[in-house]
Amino acid sequence: MIILTSSVATVASHIYQHRLSDKGYKTILFIDTASEPEIGKVEGDDDWLQADLKGLRDQGYQVDRFTVTGKTKEEIEVEFDKYDVLYMCGGNTIYLLQKLQETGSFDLIVEKVRNGKPYIGTSAGSIIAGPKIPVYLEDAEGITLDDYTGFRFTNTIVVPHWGSEHFKQMYLDERLKLAYKDSEPPFLLMSDYHYAVIDEDGSLKMFSAKK
C-alpha cells in the first residue's frame, strides 16, 4: 500500500480509521532526511515535523526518526527491515533525492515497496513518489543532479499544500507554470486535508479527511 499526503498531521487519524486500522502495523520508520536543510536554524522551524510525528504516534504507532545521510546501503536496509511501514518526511525534495542517490537507498526503497513494504509520503515524500522531480529554482539550493527520476509509484506529480496561504505566491509565480508545458507529467493538486492511495494495480484514488 502506498499513501501520499500533503500534511500527514491533518489526515493521520482518517488514514488510520479507514485504511490502516485492520492491517496490524505497529512500527513506522520516519525518514526525516528531506527536513535536514530546513530545520535547526531558528526556534520552532520544525513545528510541522513535530506535528507529523505526533499525528502518527497518536494512532498508536511506534514511530522512530531515521536519516539515510551518512549511512551505507547495508545499514539502511537493516533499518528498513525492522519496521512495518516506511514513512518519507517532507522538506527539500532535491536534497532528499541527492541523499537517496548517494547512499544507494533510492533503488532499495523502490525494491522494498514494489515487494509489498507499505510506504507513506508527505510533501517531498509524496513528490518523489512520482515519475520525476520538478526542478524549482527555490528548491535546488545549488544542488545539480544527473537524474531527477522519482520512484515512479504513480505517473502523476503531487503538488502538496494546495490552498495554503504560505505557498500561494510560490505556486502562482513559478510552480504552476510547469503544468502548461507539454513535457511535464500530469499534476495532482493536493490540499493538507486530502490524501491519495495507490492500490496494487497502480490505480490512484483521492480521499478527504474533512468532515
Domain ranges of the chain: 2-208
Q: What is the mean pLDDT of each run of 10 residues along the chain (211 residues)?
A: 95 95 96 92 87 97 97 96 97 94 96 96 96 69 86 91 72 68 80 92 87 63
Per-residue model confidence (pLDDT) at position 41: 79
Q: Of residues 6, 105, 126, 161, which has the active-site annotation?
A: 161
Per-residue model confidence (pLDDT) at position 179: 67
Q: Of residues 7, 35, 105, 123, which has the active-site annotation?
A: 123
Per-residue model confidence (pLDDT) at position 87: 98
Please say if 14 is a catalytic residue.
no
Determine if the pTM surpasses 0.85.
yes
Per-residue model confidence (pLDDT) at position 137: 46
Please say if 123 is a catalytic residue.
yes
Which grid coordinates belong to 112? 522494498
Which grid coordinates belong to 141? 539550493
Per-residue model confidence (pLDDT) at position 184: 74
Per-residue model confidence (pLDDT) at position 183: 72
User: CATH number of the domain at 2-208, out of 3.40.50.720, 3.40.50.880, 3.10.180.10, 3.10.129.10?
Assistant: 3.40.50.880
Instruction: List pLDDT tens digits, range 83-108.
Output: 999 999 999 999 999 999 999 999 99
